[in-house]
Amino acid sequence: MSPVFEVANLKKAFGGLAVTNNVSLTMSPGDRIALIGPNGAGKTTFVNLVTGNLSPDSGEVRLGGELVTKVDAIGRVRRGLVRSFQVTRLFQDMTPAEHVGLAVLQRDGKTGHMFGNFLRMPDVMAEVDDLLGKLGLAFLMHRKVSEIAYGQQRLLEIAVALALKPKVLLLDEPAAGVPQSDTGRIEQALADLPADLAVLMIEHDMDLVFRFARRVIVLASGAIIFDGLPEDVTKDARVREAYLGSYANASHIT
């Protein structure tokens, strides 16, 4: 199977300090990868580099075989690389239906309809109904974002991302800040993601990492120190030292 996403020898330094140090990564359709590492490991910088929000000093990024290293963030979204953020970036005065509908219009290049009543367009509303229904948000579609719970807002972010029909989805701590009682909904949404979608999730919750990922990558000091199976990550001495600490010695994963 041909790779859908490739990063080769990516480097970035600030003031002489290497924050991304020769990082390479290949993803295929259907991959479920967790990217973990201690604070300051370079995870956010890496994601900013691959999404086009930051320019690398050297290295390459390819999406579907196309070199996109110099393509801006919007251009990468149009090519199928979509990111959700650790802190929700929704518009509080808009509704879930409007958010998803606008994403559909952006994806299809119908930006001229964004200032009209696009929610009366049958094709747009069919996708809005489908996506919000799958994520259990249909009953909230016409409520303002400011009126819905934070966990539901995180689900809405996933709906907006899926409306763009990504080939590669980057999830930045999708359950961050969500009450424990609502995390099950987030996990179910992750489990229900399209089977052919390549997903890279940045996450600190190790329980969620082990339930979601089929492959784990660990960053430390801007470099990959582990890339392998979840069941092997806690056995790696470098990972124990750099990130997992006492968690790696917990009885429930040994």
Asked whether 207 and 103 are in contact (CB, 8 A), the reply is: no
Three-class HEC string of the chain: CCCCEEEEEEEEEECCEEEEEEEEEEECCCCEEEEECCCCCCHHHHHHHHHCCCCCCEEEEEECCEECCCCCHHHHHHCCEEEECCCCCCCCCCCHHHHHHHHHHHHCCCHHHCCCCHHHCHHHHHHHHHHHHHCCCHHHCCCCHHHCCHHHHHHHHHHHHHHCCCCEEEEECCCCCCCHHHHHHHHHHHHCCCCCCEEEEECCCHHHHHHHCCEEEEEECCEEEEEECHHHHCCCHHHHHHHHHHHHHCHHHC
The size of the chain, in residues, is 254
Distance CA 36, CA 207 (A): 12
State which residues of the chain have pLDDT below 70: 85-88, 111-116, 243-254
Query: What domain range is 107 assigned to?
Result: 5-253
In angstroms, the CA 228 to CA 234 distance is 11
Q: What is the CATH number of the domain that holds 175?
A: 3.40.50.300
Distance, in Å, from the CA atom of 197 to the CA atom of 99, rounded to the nearest integer, reads 21
CB 156 within 8 A of CB 66: no
| Per-residue model confidence as pLDDT tens digits over 71-97 | 999 999 999 999 986 456 799 999 999
User: What's the rounded Cα separation, in Å, for the pair 170 and 43?
Assistant: 12
Give 118's contacts (C-beta < 8 A, 6+ positions apart).
101, 102, 105, 110, 124
pLDDT of residue 121: 86
The region, left, alpha or beta by phi > 0 then psi within -120 to 50, assigned to residue 224 is: beta
Q: Beta strand pairing status for 66-67 and 17-27?
A: unpaired
What pTM, to 2 d.p., does this model score? 0.90
Half-sphere CA count of 202, side-chain side, radius 13 A: 22
Task: Compute how many other C-beta atoms are within 10 angstroms of the C-beta atom of residue 238.
Answer: 11
Q: What is the pLDDT of residue 79?
A: 95
**Structural domains of the chain, count:** 1
Q: What is the structure's pLDDT at 246?
A: 46
Look up residue 62 and give its two tokens.
């390819």
